[in-house]
Chain A
């Protein structure tokens, strides 16, 4: 139950950050692919850098164990990514 409350609260902050970054808008998503507005890239990479620093520090301190890391299967990941990009550039989601 507590786990679900955590999920709900974290979800609210997740949605809030997406909204404030403008990632809920079509033109923001598609313009990153037109290379005219790199907000999506800046948003994603900042999130990555902050999260990976935090996670690796916490793991170094022994406070967390990593959950199951998404598995790597090169062809699947790449083909999935290639199809995903088409959908993303079309819909702007």
Chain B
């Protein structure tokens, strides 16, 4: 495998909920996450809503301070940088959002939106910037005539392309895509996924691809991390997902992927209930109350270690 680009170590992000009288309970959105992103790969991050995926994305981009832990990007601890160094580093890591309707400033033209990254970093003359923004638009499949329009004049898919163009503007090495296709129609999803993989090979990009949809993840990712209640419980190359002995939670998620086959017999959902609130994380293995294979008292009392059970395949389960 190639060089590590980003490394998260023991990363935690807790929130104090505010109660009526001062500080309320502690919400552990990200609770001890370790992973490495290698140059040029696409790491998928899956999990149910509320498991801390988006919080993790924001922490590793230094958009939220961590409660604990470190993130190393290209050899630098990003939480230890001066604000000027951090500003420089931001050119190398960008983000794409889920909702193409709230990710673009409604009061700026597309030209202004795409020019802004260059203005922030004091790059280029006015005409150079104009050229760059035109290039960006063609690169994502739009054209220069769109520069003077406002975001509300575009469709969801087009707006997502504009968001991608903005993320590309500073020629980053890492792009965190936070559910980039979840808000789009299936036909448009495929177009955007194709665009993302074209851009990846053209610019040698590294993606952290967040989704709750395993079928999307399996299309684009080289490795997959599964997150449950603020922790990564399973991390494996995508190939292993077809064959290997996975975490029971991952197996349940895979069974829940809908297949377009009306003849297939109905299978009852593998998991019962909703994930517990991240404010009251269960003792022991956090998954044990919903796990079909849980054995008491072991799973209730002992936190399973996050172990490498096969080459590159990490699981936290007592029975794998």
Chain A partners chain B:
no
